[in-house]
Amino acid sequence: MTKKLVATKSFSYAGKRLVKGAKFEASDKDARLLKAVGKAKDAPARAEKKSTSPEPQPEKDAPSGETGASHVEKTGEYQTRMMLPNN
């Protein structure tokens, strides 16, 4: 049998160079050894997508005159002409 692992350090395994965070499969025996020496950890189980939660609704812009986050703070967008000095 094989186990799915994630490299915690860069190393070579089965003739391939693995970098930290790389996902790979190893035999049960190799997996136990790699985990024991700190080179790998078990890969996280795949999370199933739940379709029961409703879709998030976009926030409405606050009417003018109300305090709150600006358009730039909400969206990260800005216009360059606002940054230029007026002549």
**Averaged pLDDT in 10-residue chunks for the chain of 87 residues:** 93 93 95 95 77 62 54 54 53
Let me know: does 22 contact 7? Beta carbons within 8 Å.
yes
Q: What is the pLDDT of residue 34?
A: 96
Amino acid at 60: K
Query: Is the Cα torsion angle 76, 21, 41, 46 positive or negative in sign?
Result: positive
- Structural domain spans, the chain: 2-42
- What is the number of residues in the chain? 87
- Provide the whole-model pTM: 0.52
- The residue among 57, 79, 61 whose CA lies nearest residue 69 is 61
Distance CA 8, CA 19 (A): 8
